[in-house]
Structure 1
Amino acid sequence: MLERLFKLKAHGTDLRTEVIAGFTTFLTMAYIIFVNPSILAETGMDKGAVFVATCLAAAIGCLVMGIVANYPVAQAPGMGLNAFFTYTVVLQMGHSWQVALAAVFISGLCFILLSVLRVREWIINSIPMSLRTGISAGIGLFLALIALQNAGIVVDHPATLVALGDVTAFAPAMAALGFFLTIGLVHRGLKGAVMIAILAVTVIGVVAGDVSYGGVMSAPPSLAPTFMQLDFSGALEVGLVSIVFAFLFVDLFDTAGTLVGVAQRAELLDKDGKLPRLNRALLADSTATSVGALLGTSNTTSYIESVSGVATGGRTGLTAVVVGILFLLALFFAPLAGMVPAYATAGALFYVAILMMSGLVGINWRDLTEAAPVVVVCLLMPLTYSIASGIGLGFIAFCAVKTFAGKGREVPVSIWILAGLFLLKFVFLV
């Protein structure tokens, strides 16, 4: 049955290799079951319910990706998108988390529509590589700022807006330890390095009396506090259009980039460098996003950590199916996830930020018409505390810079349209 479903022999793999690859991928991305509830709980959402929603959304995404698309790509609620959900849509813009969930659900439906109509290729191909890189790096800087704030390393200041906190306090010191430990373990190639660092800092917190021990395993918490709690009446307001677009836009490019990157590492691209069954993979991602919103979590997306499983031999969807099963088993570790303090996940956030910023090395810094919009995106995402604002201002800057430099013809029509829509949004809806 497995041979017929996943074509193991044709991909040069076997059951044992795929299972090992699945375990490897899960260990490298399991930190999300601790980090995602911690971030979304700041909106007022029930942490236990978000934990269950996170595990279920990840499991569903992995199973659909593995069985329908037959790719060794794991899925889970995405970093960056959960931060946008919490810190921009809810805490900054003042929308309820129910409205934010509805916006996520709508973005998932739009993603499905774009995949079915094959509009995705036109959208992705029309966005300059420099802007794609800048968006990823900007989200990374945004995550870094959130990590520093959660740890107490950076605090509010009435004169300078932000300032250095008391780095000798317990929380900042533990956050720094978690970050250093994460980098050290990752550099040594240890599987599950991020999760190990989070758990190590949590254990220290328990021993020091800063964290109350609540057990390790139990029956899963109730999903009721977040299940089907979407507020569509609020999500259909005109002011939420840019929010839905931002969810869709970031998810679209994050997914496309991850799929191509993992497939290239696994040597699954065709002769033209394209990904076979791409629409199936995109449908798996968008379906998981919509289902995840119904359960009570932010956008579900493909994880670049899937490369770790590919590196150990994973070549088929069976790898993703194994990851999905492990996420289901993780449901019984809710007490452990509930004990993890914010400072224990700060190191993981900062580590992810570094990964997302690494693409800046490919920017042509000698061409200011390419570099300047990238800097606009990177700086204004964290400084405005809004991923959507950073994307919009980056598009506007790209059009303006190219025009004043006499290179207006280099701007694709789609970018002019998107920049114009964002400009109208800033003028009339901010």
Structure 2
Amino acid sequence: MRASRFFALRERGTDARTEALGGLATFLTMSYIVFVNPAILSSAGLPFDAVAVATALAAGGFTIIMGLTTNLPFALASGLGINAVVAFDIILGRKVSPDVGMACIVLEGLLAVVLVLAGMREAVVRAVPTSLKLAIGVGIGLFIALVGLRDGGIVVNDPSTGIALGDLSTGPALIALAGILVALGCAAANVRGAILIGIATSTVLGLVFGVLDGPSAVARWPTSGDFSTIGDGLAPGALRDALTWALVPIIFSLFMTDFFDTVGTAYAVTSAGGLLDERGEIPKVRNLLLVDSAAAAGGGAMGVSSVTTYVESGAGVAEGARTGLASVVTGLLFALTIFFVPLIAVVGQGVTVGKDTTLHPAIAPALVMVGYLMIQLVREIEWDRPEDAVPAFLTIAGIPLTFSISAGIGLGVFGYVVTMIARGRVREIHPIMWMLVPMFVAFFASNWLSAHVF
């Protein structure tokens, strides 16, 4: 009864059983991150087992905090897209150490916390047009799907065209494609856990045909080495190296990516669950944004990239979850996965197919399915209104085609301002949208500024 009163179950028209099932559904649909995040970050030199344990702990801890603080059925984990930026853009592209990359995450999360406490982040939520929020979610979905197709060897780099169709007769591509098709078929048949079924299909086929190596064990107690990434991003040396002018544009980019991803996700899930307030806004949005911002910094401190609110929370909402009790259930389930690192390692293992190419075919179905789920937000955009359609198109196309979430968002912001000016609605542009224009100009000119100014 105490839990019922705390989470206001009766007032929300739900009960403990429904919330527990909703929490389980959310866990099942987003638990792929425990396999995917270590695979991506280990490509940049982080230890796979340690990232797997820290990913589970961070997801579990911050999801429980979200449920207790906001009483909303949101779950958090390391963000797909941001972890790819950290691994491939910052650590490998900028040739910095993993701890410096995680220090950048800590700093962008702290910046977000300060803005929430100052009331600025909530103001930005209300200032950004709904169509742009939704378009960001769609663009991120396409970006993640592209990463998945590349990780499965289905799409490859091509010197002439940029990208091209890979050799689908190879083992990695075949098991990845099989998992993707099975997952899509399950989703079409409304089978719960389609993502996990797709991952399981690719993994089993990979083991049967020798593409993947079998596990050394099923479960084990975590060792001291499994916690080795925790605290690296807080090291004074790492923070000092991250606070260089060369990395300032990157920290800004991470902040913008994390911020807008959360805005789009929170709005979409809350709307789907009928949880918007009488003004059509997210209830307790300040608490939600504060937890999400702190989770971003916390993810960097734990060495797992930014922890953010997940659109897969909608799976629990679809099962009837309406309160934070569902989040507590999801968080506890995540915490239990730290004992199954050997199995996680099988799913997330890399397959070397060339001198500098390593694929992760068993996680490809998860990435492609996330793209499929997120692109469904596109139907909510009002395409018959140019002021909505133009920025939405630029954002959706820009994110995957530039392989940069922030770049796509910047193009969308520019498109919105230009369209509003062209339609004679300058006075309706929110001051915060005007403020974003020079910020994104600086972002696009970051290389020039680093070379000639900083």
TM-score, length-normalised on structure 2? 0.87
Deviation for aligned residue 1:351: 1.4
Q: Please tell me whether residue 218 in structure 1 is matched to residue 236 in structure 2.
A: no
Residues in 1 aligned to 2:384 and 2:285: alpha-carbon distance in whole angstroms: 35
Q: Please tell me whether residue 228 in structure 1 is matched to residue 228 in structure 2.
A: no
Q: Say whether the 8 Å CA contact 2:134–2:264 is kept in structure 1.
A: no
Q: Say whether the 8 Å CA contact 1:137–1:356 is kept in structure 2.
A: yes
Deviation for aligned residue 1:183: 1.0
Report the equivalent of 1:271: 278
Superposition CA RMSD, Å: 2.4
Report the equivalent of 2:345: 338
Superposition pairs of residues 108-127 of structure 1, within 5 angstroms:
108-127=109-128
Alpha carbons of 1:163 and 1:273: their partners in 2 closer, same or farther (altered >3 Å)?
Answer: closer
Query: Which is further off, 261-270 or 284-293?
Result: 261-270
Query: Which is further off, 362-371 or 379-388?
Result: 362-371
Query: Which is further off, 173-182 or 270-279?
Result: 270-279
Superposition pairs of residues 159-308 of structure 1, within 5 angstroms:
159-214=160-215, 215-221=217-223, 222-230=225-233, 231-308=238-315
Alpha carbons of 1:362 and 1:2: their partners in 2 closer, same or farther (altered >3 Å)?
Answer: closer
Match of 1:12, SS state, is: coil
Alpha carbons of 1:159 and 1:286: their partners in 2 closer, same or farther (altered >3 Å)?
Answer: same
Deviation for aligned residue 1:327: 0.6
Deviation for aligned residue 1:401: 5.2
Q: Please tell me whether residue 393 in structure 1 is matched to residue 411 in structure 2.
A: yes
Q: Say whether the 8 Å CA contact 1:69–1:277 is kept in structure 2.
A: yes
Equivalent residue letter for 2:221: A
Residues in 1 aligned to 2:166 and 2:186: alpha-carbon distance in whole angstroms: 27
CA-to-aligned-CA distance 1:251-274 (integer Å, 9 cap, x gap): 223323333433344443333333
Deviation for aligned residue 1:112: 1.9
Q: Say whether the 8 Å CA contact 2:122–2:289 is kept in structure 1.
A: no
Q: Say whether the 8 Å CA contact 2:132–2:412 is kept in structure 1.
A: yes
Match of 2:362, SS state, is: helix
Alpha carbons of 1:272 and 1:334: their partners in 2 closer, same or farther (altered >3 Å)?
Answer: same
Match of 1:43, SS state, is: coil
Q: Please tell me whether residue 414 in structure 1 is matched to residue 421 in structure 2.
A: no
Deviation for aligned residue 1:227: 1.5
Report the equivalent of 1:148: 149
Report the equivalent of 1:312: 319
Residues in 2 aligned to 1:312 and 1:358: alpha-carbon distance in whole angstroms: 18
CA-to-aligned-CA distance 1:37-66 (integer Å, 9 cap, x gap): 111111111111111111011111111012
Alpha carbons of 1:3 and 1:164: their partners in 2 closer, same or farther (altered >3 Å)?
Answer: closer
Q: Say whether the 8 Å CA contact 2:137–2:265 is kept in structure 1.
A: no
Deviation for aligned residue 1:177: 0.9
Report the equivalent of 2:355: none
Equivalent residue letter for 2:222: P
Residues in 2 aligned to 1:398 and 1:260: alpha-carbon distance in whole angstroms: 19
Residues in 2 aligned to 1:411 and 1:70: alpha-carbon distance in whole angstroms: 33
Alpha carbons of 1:295 and 1:134: their partners in 2 closer, same or farther (altered >3 Å)?
Answer: same
Alpha carbons of 1:58 and 1:349: their partners in 2 closer, same or farther (altered >3 Å)?
Answer: same
Deviation for aligned residue 1:2: 2.0
Q: What is the total number of aligned residue pairs between the two structures?
A: 430
Equivalent residue letter for 1:159: S
Residues in 2 aligned to 1:150 and 1:266: alpha-carbon distance in whole angstroms: 33
Q: Say whether the 8 Å CA contact 1:87–1:385 is kept in structure 2.
A: no
Residues in 1 aligned to 2:265 and 2:383: alpha-carbon distance in whole angstroms: 24
Q: Of residues 378, 392, 400 in structure 2, which corresponds to 1:374?
A: 392
Equivalent residue letter for 1:328: A
Alpha carbons of 1:87 and 1:378: their partners in 2 closer, same or farther (altered >3 Å)?
Answer: farther
Report the equivalent of 2:331: 324
Q: Please tell me whether residue 429 in structure 1 is matched to residue 436 in structure 2.
A: no
Deviation for aligned residue 1:166: 0.7
Unaligned runs of 5+ in 1: none
Equivalent residue letter for 1:330: T
Report the equivalent of 2:24: 23
Residues in 2 aligned to 1:392 and 1:269: alpha-carbon distance in whole angstroms: 27
Alpha carbons of 1:113 and 1:348: their partners in 2 closer, same or farther (altered >3 Å)?
Answer: same
Match of 1:429, SS state, is: helix
Deviation for aligned residue 1:225: 3.3
Deviation for aligned residue 1:133: 3.1
Query: Which is further off, 382-391 or 361-370?
Result: 361-370
CA-to-aligned-CA distance 1:186-231 (integer Å, 9 cap, x gap): 2222222211210221111111112111132112353343121122
Query: Which is further off, 67-76 or 370-379?
Result: 370-379
Query: Which is further off, 43-52 or 369-378?
Result: 369-378
Alpha carbons of 1:424 and 1:312: their partners in 2 closer, same or farther (altered >3 Å)?
Answer: closer
Deviation for aligned residue 1:234: 2.5
Report the equivalent of 1:36: 37
Unaligned runs of 5+ in 2: 350-359
User: What percent identity do the matched residue pairs reach?
Assistant: 39
Deviation for aligned residue 1:103: 1.7
Residues in 2 aligned to 1:365 and 1:3: alpha-carbon distance in whole angstroms: 43
Residues in 2 aligned to 1:407 and 1:266: alpha-carbon distance in whole angstroms: 33
Report the equivalent of 2:357: none
Query: Which is further off, 363-372 or 420-429?
Result: 363-372
Report the equivalent of 2:354: none
